[in-house]
Structure 1
Amino acid sequence: MACRIQIAQINPLVGDIAGNAERLISASVAARDAGADLVVFPELALTGYPPEDLLLRPEFMRRVESALEHIASEAVGITLVLGYPRAAVGGLFNVAGVWRDGELVAEYAKQHLPNYSVFDEKRYFQSGSTATVFEHCGLRFGLTVCEDMWQEGPVAQAVEAGAQVLLNINASPFHAGKLQERESLVGRRASGHGLPILYANLVGGQDELVFDGASFVVDREGRVVQRAPAFAEAELRVEIDRDSDDVVRIQSAEDDRPEPDPDAVIYDALVLGVRDYVRKNGFGGAVLGLSGGVDSSLTLAIAVDALGADRVEAVLMPSRYTADMSNEDALEEARLLGVATRTIPIEPAFLAFLDMLEPAFAGQPADVTEENIQARCRGIILMAISNKSGRILLTTGNKSEMSVGYATLYGDMAGGFAPIKDVPKMLVYRLARYRNRLGEAIPERVLTRAPSAELRADQTDQDSLPEYESLDAILRLYIEEDEGIDAIVAQGYPDELVRRVARLVDRNEYKRRQAPPGVRISKRAFGRDRRYPITSGF
């Protein structure tokens, strides 16, 4: 008889233990009623991931224990595998528990606690040390939790303990290329040990992180035979049986869907990150400044796809330096996307500030100070509309600009969330063109004109920045790959240019510390990923 398993790829809310428990119960009952006899949930599904210092609060752990009792009493007639924190002798553990008809059948404590990149699990958890295998419908299932799969030891332990099928529960955050990395690794583990592996992953946005879901199943040869969709809640139904030679088999053909477009995957991650940040934090919608440039244009498209046009407002704030075509393109995009706009010229506010500051500026030439005042006028306007409307202010700066400080504190950096904070400039253009392939949204002129902050006459970004193609390449090597100056120069970039870019990155850490959170799509984003001292002699 086949063993019918359902992977429940859910989107919990960190800290909402009661609400998450109801989600788990509902999904379990639905899986049971659909004919499943085992349902598998992601890592720390009960608390959401990462719960961070909530784990240090005694009341938090009391609620976890109460919720587990509630789940056990309600989710009957089916076996559950779910993740939660467990306080036990020796400390706090990140566990996968097996519950059947209200009884705890087995628990496995995660052995490898990641403490790199965005992870900080050793701050909270102790490591487990032993394998856990449980029997269900005539098969022996082994358990591992997320990082355990990336190490050889726990998988080998489970096999040695008699596991015929491995269940791996995860809260694995997205970055570009991560889906392929996971499938390749799990495929090697499966083929190396000759057993199927079911990979259950969390989905949803949590502050800077996006969990892409994309749960999957590999057979004993390491082939992917089933996939759940990415960036959406889903159920993946799996049937496992033994053939005439008593070999465990997945009753499914190899999944031969084509590789997804990398730009489409990143775009979907940005949309989910914005949607969940707004939804989970209770905002009524979003507002942003729309300049007619590519960054704000892409941000508007993401916001509309995440929230719906009726929940997004675009504000045009022209100055004496704003080109007519900038206003025209901004209004055209808003029309294409069905977004309401308002226009508030900043000239009266700019003149008022210049008048107030005239005595302080006497005898000094105009410089970047006056440019920053314009950006801060816009920041005040947008924050006021955000406060009054209850809509979150989305900032529109990209990773290239954030890296080198090409942004104004309390001006264009003012806001609550930064959708494209981890998106380099050249990728901004690619994503904008991708979005236009889904339906006309961003006017072509936005994608072909020279980028400009329009803070002085005839200004372009390249007046003060290197060409973005070279800048992005150097930034990737310096920030994401941790390459030194000499190593980057050895790859063909001019020494003076590399040193200048590195200086700009280092000296602008103080700005980035004051920037709003934004969606992480790379292996090294600013924030949780990259923690550099502001004051440094390195």
Structure 2
Amino acid sequence: MAVIKIAGATVNQTPLDWEGNFSRILLAIQQAKLKQVEILCFPELAISGYGSEDLFLSYWYPQKALGQLEKLIPHCDDITVAVGLPIRIQDKVYNTVAIVENAKLKGIVAKQFLAIDGVHYEFRWFTPWLAHEVIEFEFLGKKVPFGDLTFYYKSIHYGFEICEDAWRGSSRPGYRLHDRKVDLIFNPSASHFAMKKTVERRELIEFSSQAFDSYYCYVNLLGNEAGRMIFDGEILLGKSGKLLARNQLLSFQDFEVLAFELEDKEQGIAPIQAKEWEFVQASALGLFDYLRKSKSKGFVLSLSGGADSSTIAVLVAEMVRRGVAELGIKGFVKKLGIEFSPESEDIEKDLVGALLTTAYQGTKNSSADTFKSAKTLAESLGAKFHSWTIDEEVDSYTEKIETAIGRKLTWEQDDITLQNIQARSRSPIIWMLANLNNALLLSTSNRSEGDVGYATMDGDTSGSISPIAAVDKHFILHWLQWAEKNLDRPGLTFVNSLTPTAELRPLERTQTDEKDLMPYSVIVEIERLAIRDRRSPVDVFLILKEELQIDVSVLKDYIKKFFRLWSRNQWKRERLAPAFHLDEFNVDPKTWYRFPILSGGYAEELEQLDQI
């Protein structure tokens, strides 16, 4: 077999950004040519963007993508390029890869298995292709083979598995490609980021290259393409059960071309980072892309001094730190489309100050500790910091209601009402600040709060984007301790010394989150079984009573509380701001877990729990 040079090209694309998408693909092709690459593979649906949603169902959108392919073909002279796009044939749309060799379209491969789990709804848009089936597709007046195809280049016989194709066990196309004696399999993918998912991919590439006795090249999309899903831009090459090449994930660049010789030797393997590093890098890139693609000028954050808002403040600062390190100050500012003039020698802090405005919105129930925590953190990061109280607004709302109902509100009788009005009173003024700055308001709720509804609608859920809504509070508390040391963020010292609390009740009532709910470490174990694994209350109890050292009656109460609060608060989850998918699962009904807004609330199932 001839030694040739191949490459994977990851690109950061955006639906409907036809000119930008085309330009990034073209620049990647040009760079590949400079590296003397002979076969270049782009990710799944690179021409249109994977996150095009119901645009795929229209007649004009796949046709427009096909027009982009026509424009691209003349630029593919002296190279073979595989690039993904949607193609409509009569009333069906197919997820395909077009193979262009030396400026001629050689054929089009169609995806055989569609992703329909978790964040994916591909069956809504696409039709799966049948194995072994090949038809003729008319393109620019010529007949082109379309379907289940393989190709030859020099002495190399190569084929494709498109993303989900590779995850279908013994049914996957790779086995049939092996029977056809291919030497090389490309996997163009649009695989969403999740912490530690790269470990699964590495295992897939190692297994595939061994089982199919071939080289296996995986190429993923890059960046926060369309709002919720983040793609990590991973490129992998394997052979004979060994990983030969791997790039570093989550680049701030528009594209990256990773080239390698088709030889059975290691050619640069970037290390797999710890979960904590993955979280900060993915969040930083997600925020950067969301900011620039929404054409906003910065972020506004209601900074309480607690864990959630402090985590988000650090993530914005890390967005600046990591983006500047990779792109340089000029490149970073240019990509954001903002004007920036440093005011001191600490340019990174100045840039954080230009992009992040925070406000501490205290009440008579707020403590000096949380004010100090918020102020210290904001100053250490370089963020703009404002401080005001909202007691006047809270009192005004309360007095009007008291007049209307003819009685005074009391903590004994009206606890939730009095808590919620404080949280909601913070929303209008922080929205004003966001509007004045042409900025995105950052919502601060986390996944654990989403589970049990421990978040105030139109309060801490207010915002344009909710960066940590898909991450559990137990992880966040751990990450903050890690970040203080490993990210050199001394401003987190006061944050990490505080017990999580909403600070909505009078201080003498010593409110804490875990006293209101249950330990966060227990919530994460219950949700793992109940939501991720979709188990019943009884199953959850039987498993956790063996895993957790908790009194049986207390554990039952925790489980009952979780399921009751979960079913009662679906309406809140339906209204959460868009959130990044960062973990193996989330509770956003638009991207992972659908649940009825109205239900019987597990009444019979929880009765069965009492009978055990």
Question: TM-score band, normalised by the shorter chain?
Answer: over 0.9
Equivalent pair of 1:142/1:159 in contact (CA under 8 Å): no
Name the counterpart of 2:330. Answer: none
Name the counterpart of 1:213. Answer: 233
Equivalent pair of 1:435/1:441 in contact (CA under 8 Å): no
What amino acid does structure 2 have at the position aligned with 1:250?
A: D
Deviation at residue 382 of structure 1 after TM alignment: 1.2
Question: Following the alignment from structure 1 to structure 2, what is the Cα–Cα distance between the partners of residues 300 and 133?
Answer: 50
Equivalent pair of 2:66/2:85 in contact (CA under 8 Å): no
Question: Following the alignment from structure 2 to structure 1, what is the Cα–Cα distance between the partners of residues 78 and 577?
Answer: 46
Name the counterpart of 2:102. Answer: 101
Equivalent pair of 1:14/1:47 in contact (CA under 8 Å): yes
**Residue of 253, 259, 276 corresponding to 1:237:** 259
Aligned residue runs from structure 1 range 52-201, under 5 A:
52-88=53-89, 91-129=92-130, 130=132, 131-151=148-168, 152=170, 153-201=172-220
Equivalent pair of 1:290/1:297 in contact (CA under 8 Å): yes
Name the counterpart of 1:486. Answer: 538
Name the counterpart of 2:471. Answer: 423
Deviation at residue 347 of structure 1 after TM alignment: 1.7
Equivalent pair of 1:187/1:224 in contact (CA under 8 Å): yes
What amino acid does structure 1 have at the position aligned with 2:280?
A: Y
Deviation at residue 258 of structure 1 after TM alignment: 4.7
**Residue of 319, 324, 333 corresponding to 2:363:** 319
Stretch deviating more after TM superposition (134-143 or 398-407): 134-143
Name the counterpart of 1:245. Answer: none
Deviation at residue 126 of structure 1 after TM alignment: 1.4
Question: Following the alignment from structure 2 to structure 1, what is the Cα–Cα distance between the partners of residues 390 and 566?
Answer: 30
Question: Following the alignment from structure 2 to structure 1, what is the Cα–Cα distance between the partners of residues 36 and 481?
Answer: 44
Name the counterpart of 2:592. Answer: 529
Q: Secondary structure at the match of 1:20?
A: helix
Deviation at residue 406 of structure 1 after TM alignment: 0.7
Name the counterpart of 1:439. Answer: 488
Aligned length: 528
Over 3 Å counting, the alpha-carbon distance change for 1:261 and 1:41 in structure 2 is: same
Question: Following the alignment from structure 1 to structure 2, what is the Cα–Cα distance between the partners of residues 346 and 427?
Answer: 31
Question: Following the alignment from structure 1 to structure 2, what is the Cα–Cα distance between the partners of residues 162 and 107?
Answer: 20
Deviation at residue 421 of structure 1 after TM alignment: 0.2
Question: Following the alignment from structure 2 to structure 1, what is the Cα–Cα distance between the partners of residues 592 and 514?
Answer: 29
Deviation at residue 28 of structure 1 after TM alignment: 0.3
Deviations 1:475-533 (A, max 9, x none): 22211121211122112161122111111111100011011011112222122100111
Q: Secondary structure at the match of 1:50?
A: helix
Name the counterpart of 1:473. Answer: 525
Equivalent pair of 2:246/2:268 in contact (CA under 8 Å): no
**Residue of 479, 504, 521 corresponding to 1:455:** 504
Over 3 Å counting, the alpha-carbon distance change for 1:90 and 1:390 in structure 2 is: closer
Equivalent pair of 1:298/1:442 in contact (CA under 8 Å): no
Equivalent pair of 1:9/1:234 in contact (CA under 8 Å): yes
Question: Following the alignment from structure 1 to structure 2, what is the Cα–Cα distance between the partners of residues 40 and 111?
Answer: 18
Q: Secondary structure at the match of 1:317?
A: strand
Name the counterpart of 2:334. Answer: none
1:50 aligns with 2:56: no
Question: Following the alignment from structure 1 to structure 2, what is the Cα–Cα distance between the partners of residues 180 and 14?
Answer: 29
Question: Following the alignment from structure 2 to structure 1, what is the Cα–Cα distance between the partners of residues 489 and 268?
Answer: 36
Stretch deviating more after TM superposition (516-525 or 432-441): 432-441
**Residue of 357, 362, 365 corresponding to 2:410:** 365
Deviation at residue 194 of structure 1 after TM alignment: 0.9
Deviation at residue 89 of structure 1 after TM alignment: 5.3
Equivalent pair of 1:38/1:79 in contact (CA under 8 Å): yes
Question: Following the alignment from structure 2 to structure 1, what is the Cα–Cα distance between the partners of residues 90 and 523?
Answer: 52
Deviation at residue 295 of structure 1 after TM alignment: 0.8
Stretch deviating more after TM superposition (401-410 or 425-434): 425-434
Q: Secondary structure at the match of 2:51?
A: coil
Deviation at residue 186 of structure 1 after TM alignment: 2.2
Name the counterpart of 1:34. Answer: 35
Question: Following the alignment from structure 1 to structure 2, what is the Cα–Cα distance between the partners of residues 253 and 314?
Answer: 45
Deviations 1:138-166 (A, max 9, x none): 21111110011112330012222231111
1:304 aligns with 2:292: no
Deviations 1:89-146 (A, max 9, x none): 5721111111123211121100001112111111111112233211123211111100
1:21 aligns with 2:22: yes
Question: Following the alignment from structure 2 to structure 1, what is the Cα–Cα distance between the partners of residues 435 and 596?
Answer: 32
1:224 aligns with 2:243: yes
Name the counterpart of 2:571. Answer: 510
1:279 aligns with 2:287: no
Name the counterpart of 1:294. Answer: 307
What is the RMSD of the two structures over their aligned residues, measured on CA atoms? 1.7
**Percent of pairs identical after alignment?**
27
What amino acid does structure 1 have at the position aligned with 2:258?
A: L
Stretch deviating more after TM superposition (437-446 or 343-352): 437-446
What amino acid does structure 2 have at the position aligned with 1:299?
A: I
Q: Secondary structure at the match of 2:85?
A: strand
Name the counterpart of 1:412. Answer: 460
Question: Following the alignment from structure 1 to structure 2, what is the Cα–Cα distance between the partners of residues 58 and 312?
Answer: 42
Equivalent pair of 2:570/2:596 in contact (CA under 8 Å): yes
Name the counterpart of 1:5. Answer: 6
Over 3 Å counting, the alpha-carbon distance change for 1:262 and 1:251 in structure 2 is: same
Deviations 1:9-66 (A, max 9, x none): 1111122223211211111012112221221100000111121101122232232122
Question: Following the alignment from structure 2 to structure 1, what is the Cα–Cα distance between the partners of residues 55 and 267?
Answer: 43
Deviation at residue 228 of structure 1 after TM alignment: 1.2
Q: Secondary structure at the match of 2:109?
A: strand
Q: Secondary structure at the match of 1:534?
A: coil
Question: Following the alignment from structure 2 to structure 1, what is the Cα–Cα distance between the partners of residues 594 and 85?
Answer: 28
> TM-score scaled by structure 2?
0.83
Deviation at residue 253 of structure 1 after TM alignment: 5.2
Equivalent pair of 1:83/1:96 in contact (CA under 8 Å): yes
Question: Following the alignment from structure 1 to structure 2, what is the Cα–Cα distance between the partners of residues 184 and 519?
Answer: 25
Equivalent pair of 2:73/2:104 in contact (CA under 8 Å): yes
Over 3 Å counting, the alpha-carbon distance change for 1:414 and 1:90 in structure 2 is: closer
Name the counterpart of 1:388. Answer: 436
What amino acid does structure 2 have at the position aligned with 1:506?
A: S
Q: Secondary structure at the match of 1:85?
A: strand
> TM-score scaled by structure 1?
0.94
Q: Secondary structure at the match of 1:443?
A: helix
Equivalent pair of 1:264/1:434 in contact (CA under 8 Å): no
Equivalent pair of 1:322/1:454 in contact (CA under 8 Å): yes
Deviation at residue 87 of structure 1 after TM alignment: 1.6
Question: Following the alignment from structure 1 to structure 2, what is the Cα–Cα distance between the partners of residues 237 and 522?
Answer: 30
Deviation at residue 229 of structure 1 after TM alignment: 1.2
